[in-house]
Amino acid sequence: MSTTAGDLDLLGEVAGVGAFADVARDAVTMELQGRRVRVMSLDTLERAKRAAGRRRDLLDLAEIREIRRRVGS
């Protein structure tokens, strides 16, 4: 799924993080296309990207840092 913020991945399990219940524990709620949805927290996303270790995932870490800077977290 594509959003104005980029692509959205829907996964049942995340490498480096675990199953849905593990991800849900730290999830945050936000509005997406007029609906309130729970999404992976930036901390969890960062852990998943580091665990995946692919070049593109490691490059995403810079984008995560920029998001943190913009939102002040």
Instruction: Report yes or no: 16 and 42 within 8 Å, Cβ to Cβ.
Output: no
Write down the pLDDT at residue 56. Answer: 93
Assign residue 42 a region: left if phi > 0, alpha if psi is -120 to 50, beta otherwise?
alpha
Residue 72: is its pLDDT beyond 70? Answer: yes
Residue 61 belongs to domain spanning: 2-71
Structurally, the chain folds into a number of domains equal to: 1
pLDDT tens string 24-67: 999 999 998 899 999 889 999 999 999 999 999 999 999 999 99
